[in-house]
Structure 1
Amino acid sequence: MQPKVRIHRKGGFYYISLFARTKDGIQFEEIKSSGECAEVISEAATELILSLIRPDDEWCIITTPKRRHITEYHFATDICQKIAQGVKIKFYESAMQCLNRTRINPEFYLLRPIKEQRVILFDDICTTGSTLTAAYDLLKDRKQVICIVGINNH
């Protein structure tokens, strides 16, 4: 992981990535099981978010659905919990679920109503952008959606 904040366009929306994957470095499996890596990403995300918004009760944070999830520890959830504490906004854990197992055209749905009209959507690692796109599609009717990716992998 190398700190490298960038803005990317994916279809009809933009997202901000915080880190870029390096050719030589920690494997994703190791990153996604590391509380230390979660802390580094959450600190960078919190700093970025606080520079973009004025936190209030109209903002919340959610993460993309848990997929291919084996262990009890969930990297993106850990990061979002830390961000929510640092920014002082609500975090909806497991707000979305995936209907299928495909990586290219995932189908997501909301498990519960999200009352806030301004949403920070967090994805831990972006490779194709299909997960982020499917999640964004569920939220695009909101007043504002800020998409943040921990590690850009493409």
Structure 2
Amino acid sequence: MARRSKITRMDKWDVPASRPRLKGGNIPLCDLTARPAIHQLGSLVYFSQFKRTKRGTPFSEIKQSADIAALFADSAANFIERLVNNTEDWCIITTPRRRNAVGFHFATAVCERISATLGIPFYADAVQCINRNRLDPDFHLLRPIAERRVIVYDDIITTGTTLTATASLLADRDFVLNLIGINNR
């Protein structure tokens, strides 16, 4: 007896692909309300400005907006100014670009504005990721950083591997301040 194939319905086959979704089918959102918080990741401590929420703007739209980058930068500059007080011998770097090597880069735009507001040097593309492995990145410094105190800015933290890899790279510094835009953990 010949076996019949199972008929599969293909509902919504012509609907264009939507925004990136998480495992549970949720779109990562942020309502852009400042909620500064301190977090611990193993022995690392980091500060976040915003957190993931159930309603708000999708992360994909946030990362493409220069206006939202200005909002994040102003919030971060205010936070750094209150926390650090004296920004002498401080600099700011961002985690390396991975997917979008050209075009608008959210974290770079935020760091440029923080640098201009606080008068501290910003080393664009100071850190490079040699491999494309997201779970075990291999980071290297591309240029020497003279300042002994470094602010590391990352736009979104999910697993924390980028933060831990950057921290191990800058282990010889006097102080490393880890600042995250959106906490997605």
TM range (shorter): over 0.9
Residues 1:107 and 2:138 are matched in the alignment: yes
Question: Equivalent residues in 2 for 1:24-63 (5 A)?
Answer: 24-53=55-84, 54-56=86-88, 58-63=89-94
Q: 1:96 aligns with which of 109, 127, 134?
A: 127
Q: Secondary structure at the match of 1:142?
A: coil
User: Counterpart in 1 of 2:106?
Assistant: 75
TM superposition shift of 1:21: 1.5
Q: Secondary structure at the match of 1:4?
A: coil
Residues 1:13 and 2:44 are matched in the alignment: yes
Residues 1:127 and 2:164 are matched in the alignment: no
- In 2, Cα distance between the equivalents of 1:85 and 1:75? 16
Q: Higher strand fraction: Structure 1 or Structure 2?
A: 1
TM superposition shift of 1:31: 0.5
TM superposition shift of 1:92: 0.1
- In 2, Cα distance between the equivalents of 1:62 and 1:71? 18
Aligned pairs, how many? 153
Unaligned runs of 5+ in 1: none
Letter in 2 for 1:55: T
Alignment RMSD: 1.1
Structure 1 runs of 4+ aligned residues shifted over 3 Å read none
Q: Secondary structure at the match of 1:146?
A: strand
Percent sequence identity over matched residues? 48
- In 1, Cα distance between the equivalents of 2:46 and 2:67? 24
User: Counterpart in 2 of 1:136?
Assistant: 167
Letter in 2 for 1:113: P
Structure possessing the higher radius of gyration over alpha carbons: 2
- Greater displacement, 83-92 / 19-28: 19-28
Letter in 2 for 1:133: T
TM superposition shift of 1:99: 1.1
- In 1, Cα distance between the equivalents of 2:53 and 2:43? 27
* TM-score with structure 2 setting the length: 0.80
Residues 1:148 and 2:172 are matched in the alignment: no
Deviations 1:33-73 (A, max 9, x none): 101110111011000100112111x1100000001116511
